[in-house]
Amino acid sequence: MERLIKICGLSTPETLDAALDAGADFVGFARFPKSPRHVSLEVGRELSQQAKGRARRAVLLVDADDAAIAEVVEAFDPDLLQLHGHETPARVRDIRSRFGRPVMKALGIAEASDLDILPSYAAVTDHILLDAKPPRTPDALPGGNGLPFDWRLLAGLDPGLSFMLSGGLNPDNVAEAIRLTGASAVDVSSGVESRPGIKDPARIVAFIEAARAAYAALAH
C-alpha cells in the first residue's frame, strides 16, 4: 500500500521548496479567500509550476462553482481537486466527470455517526480525507483549525478503505496518529506553521521525517 504525506496550505516558493526537498508526496494550495493560506490564481500558477514533476499538486476548494473550478484547473493544472465544503456525493461525481481530474472529498469527523456518510462518498471520489469537524464559531474554517478528533472512532473502519488523515496533526503526534488509525496517508497544514498561514520549514521537515519513520515501523 502506498504511504503518502501531504503538506497543505503552501503559499510561498521557499516553504514549497522545503516541502518538496523533504520528500512530500502531495503539496496543497488553498483557494478559499477566508483562509490565511489563500493564494491568488497568479501565485498559484507559479507555485504549481514549481512543484510540477516533484510532487502531486492538490488545490483546496470550498463549495466552488463550475466557473471557479475552471479557473483553478486552467491556472494550477492540478493533479487533484480537494473538496472541503458541503459538496454532496452527486456534486462530487459531477465535478470529477466534468473536469476530468481526480477528486478528494474531505469529511468532518466529531463522533461515530459522522462516519455513516463515508460509503456514499467513497463510491464517487478517488480519495477520502478524514478531518476534524470545525468548531461552531463564526470564524472557524472548514479545515486548518489545528484541532484533532478522537482517532479511536476509526477503529471499526473497513481495513480495505484507504483514507488520508487530517486534523490537528503535527510533528509530535503524527506517529501516534498513524499507529492508532493505520492511516495510509496523512495531511498537515496548521501543524507545521509558526503562525496562521506562515509555514515553518523546520516543522515541515520534522513532520515528514516523523511520518516516514512511523510508516517504516508499521511495515515491520
Summarised one tens digit per residue, pLDDT across range 66-121 is 999 999 999 999 999 999 999 999 999 999 999 999 999 999 999 999 999 999 99
Segments forming the whole domain that contains residue 52: 4-218
- CA pair distance 48, 85, nearest whole angstrom: 22
pLDDT at site 140:
52
Q: Residue 1: pLDDT above 80?
A: no
> Dihedral sign, CA of 82, 85, 89, 91?
negative
pLDDT at site 148:
85
- Report long-range pairs for 200-207 (Cβ below 8 Å, ≥24 apart): 200/15, 201/14, 201/15, 201/18, 203/170, 203/171, 204/7, 204/15, 204/18, 204/19, 204/22, 204/24, 205/18, 205/22, 206/171, 207/5, 207/7, 207/169, 207/170, 207/171, 207/174
172 belongs to the catalytic site: no
**3-class SS shares of the chain: helix, strand, coil, % to 5:** 40, 20, 40
Mean pLDDT to the nearest integer, 133-156:
71
Q: Which of 8, 77, 114, 150 is catalytic?
A: 8
Q: Residue 175: beta bridge partners?
A: none
Number of domains in the chain: 1
- CA pair distance 79, 84, nearest whole angstrom: 16
Q: Which of 21, 79, 131, 200 is catalytic?
A: 131
CATH number at residue 159: 3.20.20.70
63 belongs to the catalytic site: no
Phi and psi at residue 84, in whole multiples of 5°?
-120, 20
- CA pair distance 99, 84, nearest whole angstrom: 17
Q: Characterise 13 by phi-psi region: left (phi > 0), alpha (psi -120 to 50), beta (else).
A: alpha
Task: Tell me how far the alpha carbon of residue 87 is from its chain's centroid.
Answer: 16
The answer, as to whether pTM is greater than 0.85, is yes
Q: What is the pLDDT of residues 176-213, one digit of tens each?
A: 999 999 899 999 999 999 999 999 999 999 999 999 99
C-alpha cell at 182: 493505520
